[in-house]
Structure formats: C-alpha cells, structure tokens
Copies of this chain bind each other. A is one copy, B any other.
Amino acid sequence: MKEIFCGIDLGGTTVNIGLVTNNGDLIQQHKIPSGVIDGVDAVVDRIAKVVHNWQIQDDQLLIRAAGIGVAGLVDTHRGILREATNFPGWINVPIVTKLHSKLDCPVIVDNDANVAALGEYSFGAGKGYDHMMMVTLGTGVGAGLILNGQIYRGAYGAAGEFGHITIQKDGPVCGCGRRGCIEAFVGTNGLVRNVRQRLSSNMTSTLRTYNLDKLTPKDIYQEAVAGDELARLVFSDAGENLGYGLGSVVNLLNIQHIVIGGGVAEAGKFIIDSAQKILNEFALNNGDQSARIVKAKLGELAGIVGAASLAMALV
C-alpha cells in the first residue's frame, strides 16, 4: 500500500505544499503566498488549511508524516527555525511544534538546500549516489550535502555553504564581504560583472543592447541560447570557476556525484561542460571513476519531494 507524506517548501514569498507517495510521486500540489509578515502562526494556519482541504476531499487520506524545508538556519534536532533573511522577526521559531499541533502527524524541518539535495538523492538526479552534493545556482550559490546516504548538517546546522569556498584568495569581492568565493564568480553579480568585463573587448554581442544595471542571468541565458558567443563564454567562465570549487569538494569529501539545480542551472549545457572539464583536471584520481556533474531532475518540485522524503525517515 502506498503511504502518503506531506512536503512543504516554505520560501519568503511562496509556500509550495504537496502530497507525495513513498515512491516519490506527487499526488497533490498547491501554492499559496507565504505572507511571512503575518507571523508564523498565520503561516502555519494557511498551510494547515490547504492540507485539511485535501483531507475533506478524501476522507481515506492518511498523512503519515510531514516535512518542511525553509530557506534559513535550521536546528533540525530541536525542530527550530533559528533565523532566516527572508523571514524578518522569525527568530528561534519552534516550527515543528506549531505544525505538529495543526497537522496531527510527525513533523520535521530542515534547511531548503538540504531538503532539495535529499529530494534529488531520493527520487531525482542523485538516486543511488550515497556521497553527493546538490548545488543551487541563483542570485547566490547554495548547496546541500548527502554523505553516507544522509543529509549532512554540520555542528550547528550551517553546513553546505559551498558558495563561500574560496577559489581565488585575492579575487573579486563577494556579497558576503570576503574575496574570491565561488559565489563572487558564479552568482548573479559575478555573471553580470563578467559580462561587463567581456563587453570591454571588441567582441560583438547582443548583450550590448541591454541596460547592464538591470541585466539578469535569464537575459544572458536567452542570448546564449540564441547563439550569442559572449553570453556563452560568460557561462563557460562560470562553469570553470564552479569546477575549481567542485574539485576542492571532491578532493576533500570524495563525493561521486554533483547535481546542479536552480535558476541559472537552466544554462546547464553552457555551464556543466566547462565545470566538468575543470573538475576532471582538478579532482585527484584515486583509481576510481571521477565525479560526474548532472542537471537536477525535480526542478521546483525538489523542495516538496525532498521535504516529503525527509518525513519518510520519521516513520
């Protein structure tokens, strides 16, 4: 018999809620605005209402457990959201207790990057790889680690800051204030800075027609797809820089597999090839097959499916 789990992907603007079977199939999904400004109790009520509606529609529906992923610093063990940039005022929120009292099933919380990594590991592009990292490319660069087949959280739940590995100690300043982080090269600001630098050459590019102050990775991606050579070089540069960081992680952790997700990952084919090339050069060969970089499979559902996977471990 299929068992049903609830997966909740709580972001700063949207909550994505779903019901997932124990083999990873999504059977219900609903998206609502998170409205974090109303406070945690209101948000929990809204989530519970969505779930209760499903229960009203199907009186046979038994939810075994629920998982929630939040973009912030989480103490999974104590069930607490410690702090999160996009949730102003939500400090040390006992999110598990609050959800449990409304959903009436076991609940578990984790960081969104960890949850997405678990989703890809359990039912997506990371299936079968007990040592893997999922990297999420967007405005910033985040990551979740699966080590020995489990989410690795670190001493205080803060593990996975792959974006703030240093690849060039005297490199460009990162949003975090340090120099030469991967994010400083591969995050939105890094991509746009590289567009400016490359435009200072004589190379022709449709990107010259854009207002660079408003340029997005999506713009660069669209031009790359349309054949713009400069746009493709910018992603290829980003891939190389990503590759140096991945080499460091593979050498330190001997992981086998890297899954790339997130908005910029749409530019996958332009990024992954050059990242894999650098990774092959920089990862030590210990007589083993080298680590492969692949695109994520679950897309924006990774959050729901991963949160549900997290819940599966509760029962």
Contact = CB atoms under 8 A, between A and B. Distances in A.
Contacts of A152: 147-148, 253
A252 B178 CA distance: 15
B158 A286 contact: yes
Contacts of A148: 152
Given A155-B255, A165-B252, 19 more contacts: A145-B252, A145-B253, A155-B254, A155-B256, A156-B287, A157-B254, A158-B288, A160-B254, A161-B284, A162-B251, A164-B282, A165-B165, A165-B248, A166-B167, A166-B248, A169-B241, A178-B247, A178-B282, A249-B252
Main secondary structure of the interface of A (DSSP, over half): loop
A104 interface: no
A294 interface: no
A87 interface: no
Contacts of A248: 164-166, 248
| Leading 7 A-B pairs by shortest Cβ distance | A154-B254, A161-B251, A159-B254, A158-B286, A131-B155, A165-B248, A158-B254
Interface string A160-186: 111011111110000010100000000
A264 interface: no
A295 interface: no
A82 B169 contact: no
Interface in A208-249: 241, 244-245, 247-249
B130 A155 contact: yes
Category for how many chain A residues contact B? 35 or more
A178 B279 CA distance: 11
B73 A158 contact: no
12 contacts: A131-B155, A145-B252, A154-B253, A154-B254, A156-B287, A158-B284, A159-B252, A159-B254, A161-B251, A165-B248, A168-B168, A168-B170
A83 interface: yes
B167 A83 contact: no
A157 B170 CA distance: 33
A131 B73 CA distance: 18
Contact of A73 (B162, B165, B241, B287): B287
A73 B131 CA distance: 18
A281 interface: yes
Contacts of A287: 73, 82-83, 156
Contacts of A158: 254, 284, 286, 288
A12 B281 CA distance: 29
Contacts of A244: 166, 169
A246 to B, nearest CB: 10
